[in-house]
Amino acid sequence: MSHLPRLIRIISVIAKYRLDAFLVGQPGTALLRLALLPWKLRWAFSKARHFTRNQRLRLAMEELGPIYIKFGQLLSTRRDFIAVELAEELRSLQDNVPPFTSPSIEQIVADTLDAPATEVFRSLDSQPFASASVAQVHRATLHSGEEVVVKVLRPGIEDTVRQDIKLLKWVARLIATRTKFGKRLRPVEVVNDYEGVILGELNLQAEGANASQLKRNFEGSPDLYVPKIYWDYTRRNILVMERIYGIPVTDINALHDCNINLKKLAETGVNIFFSQVFEHNFFHADMHPGNIFVAREHPENPQYIAIDCAIIGSLSRDDKDYLAKNLLAIFKRDYRRVAELHVECGWVPPETQVHAFESAMRSVCEPIFEKPLKDISFAHLLVQLFSTAGRFNMEVQPSLVLLQKTLLNVEGMGRQLYPDLDLWQTALPFLENWQRKQLSPFTLFEELKEQLPNWLDQLPHLPVQVINALVQADKLTSINATLAEQLEATRKLRELQAQRRQRGGIIVLAAAGITLLPAVQSVLTTGSIITVGLAAVGVFLLSFKQ
């Protein structure tokens, strides 16, 4: 029950901010609201009663910590799911969480780098200019004159995260073992995957390595810029990075003032996402608006600037291939192919009837596709598809959860930039081009080149492997011959035993006949020949069974 103190704390915060107000009118929540009554006695004396319902939700998320803040960040981008007023309130969770004041940034730098802050930086702002769920950022200047930002972890943040993970694991086990849909949702695996993601975010040195890799992937690209990492001053709890001067992607007025082509900007964002997933297999998985900026240069062909690369996702080759094929089939309304792919990749049980699954997919997708493409929400489609697939015991794929969450972020951000964004038409050419590349002989040649060094490394060992294989084949042949001989001997032994039993049965029957001869004669005189026949057959069978 190590999660119990954290659970009590969460219930206390929910009661403190009267979040049960969001449950009013929702079916099946009366018991939960009743359970919160004892916790709400503080309400009359709480400052929270002066805030609106939306403000109370934002304050509760801030108080509960990083996991809840991140959920709020995701919600803030989905105005097609929640009210615009609530989305606006949650937007401050992207980079305006209350900062910590102790220890000071100077003390953290001195303790981490074993040198006074004045030796490392010419100047260092004591007050942060941005603060988010797990870290905050300070402006600074190196002695070389380069302008940088210093990112530092919140003190004690790891303990809070681990407590929440324990609680999530407990809830996941309850769902897995106590509900009908637990097996399909695979909550334990999902939480285990998320544990690795969120704990990885607490290592700023790993974040720096991710940023360096992402920068290499888009080196020279007009679409995305990633700031430089200063490794001499970067540690597990502190990251020093090049300072950038982009426009926050959510500042629509500033983007208009700089004449940024918002349609081009939204479409470029979609292409960046798909390039990361399908070409690089290395995607920024925390693309909420607080981490994305836009360069002021080249407004007609705007460039994104990405920061905070703590959460990075990748897929196995099979998952990536099946995902691309599924998306293509959905975009082309080829529901038969969607059904076949779900069975092939094991997302639904192998005994699933393809035609029934195809019909179910069609019933969900066709009403949606009859709308103008710009009005189709991919998020809503995902929800409906998964709900329908539940009838066919489709399980959650933990390896794809991070990708789906990122795609929801990307689409939500794109729709804020350009409400008429057509995700489908933007993504379809990319996916079709990707498919052509996969079938290209040049791609096959590149894969052969990639594997060739491995094959050459194995070449000197090939003769030994061939000899070993031949020896094993000889041994297998000898074993098969021995087994055949043993089987033949066993067969002959069984035939001999059967013959013996048959002879024994005849002998017993004869002996029984001699012994019973007087009785048989007596019976025959009474005319019950059928009874005698049955008795003889019974004796014979009993003797044979022995």
Q: What are the phi and psi torsion angles at 229 (to 5°)?
A: -100, 135
> Chain-centre distance of CA 222, in angstroms?
30
Task: Give SS3 for 295.
Answer: coil
pLDDT of 535? 42
Per-residue model confidence as pLDDT tens digits over 439-490: 666 555 555 656 666 656 666 766 766 676 666 766 667 676 776 777 777 7
> Chain-centre distance of CA 203, in angstroms?
21
Q: Are 96 and 58 in contact (CB under 8 A)?
A: no
What tokens appear for 516 in the block?
């019973």
CA distances (Å), origin 525, targets 294, 386, 520, 530 = 116, 83, 9, 13
pLDDT of 345? 81
Tell me if the bond preceding 103 is cis, omega within 30° of 0: yes
Q: Are 374 and 420 in contact (CB under 8 A)?
A: yes
Least reliable range by pLDDT among 124-138, 143-157, 169-183, 201-215: 169-183
Gap between the Cα atoms of 527 and 5, Å rounded = 92
Q: Determine how β-strand 304-306 pairs with β-strand 224-225.
A: parallel
What tokens appear for 298 in the block?
């080249």
Tell me the mean pLDDT in the region 195-207: 89
Please measure the distance between the N-terminal and C-terminal CA atoms of the chain and give it in whole angstroms. 63
Q: Are 305 and 227 in contact (CB under 8 A)?
A: yes
Q: What are the phi and psi torsion angles at 279 (to 5°)?
A: -100, -45
Least reliable range by pLDDT among 43-47, 101-105, 242-246, 314-318: 43-47
CATH 3.20.20.140 fits 105-260, yes or no: no
What tokens appear for 236 in the block?
């597990």
SS3 string of 97-156? CCCCCCCCHHHHHHHHHCCCHHHHEEEECCCCCEECCCEEEEEEEECCCCEEEEEEECCC
The domain spans of the chain are 4-94, 105-260, 261-439, 462-545
Q: Identify which has the larger pLDDT, 35 or 447.
A: 35
What tokens appear for 492 in the block?
């002959």
What tokens appear for 428 in the block?
């379809």
> Chain-centre distance of CA 475, in angstroms?
46
Percent of the chain at pLDDT exceeding 70: 75
Query: Interhelix angle for 462-515 vs 529-545, to 10°?
Result: 140
Torsion of CA 157, 162, 168, 174, to 10 degrees: -160
pLDDT of 509? 38
Residues 6+ apart with CB under 8 A from 229: 208, 211, 212, 239, 240, 241, 242
Residue with tokens 């974040």: 207
Q: Are 405 and 71 in contact (CB under 8 A)?
A: no
Task: Give SS3 for 421.
Answer: coil
Residues 6+ apart with CB under 8 A from 57: 17, 19, 22, 72, 86, 89, 90
Instruction: Write the DSSP string, 334-359.
Output: -HHHHHHHHHHTTSS-TT--HHHHHH
Q: Is the pLDDT of residue 338 over 90?
A: no
Gap between the Cα atoms of 72 and 54, Å rounded = 11
Gap between the Cα atoms of 406 and 287, Å rounded = 7
Of 95, 164, 286, 422, the active-site residue reads 286
Per-residue model confidence as pLDDT tens digits over 490-536: 777 666 666 655 554 444 434 444 333 343 344 334 444 334 443 44
Per-residue model confidence as pLDDT tens digits over 382-404: 767 767 777 787 777 776 777 87
Element housing 304 (H / E): strand 304-306
Q: Is the pLDDT of residue 229 over 50?
A: yes
Question: Does the annotation mark 334 as catalytic?
Answer: no
Mean of all residue pLDDT scores within the chain? 79
Per-residue model confidence as pLDDT tens digits over 86-98: 888 888 888 788 8
Instruction: Write the DSSP string, 215-269.
Output: HHHTTT-SSEE-PPB-GGG-BTTEEEEE---PEETT-HHHHHHTT--HHHHHHHH
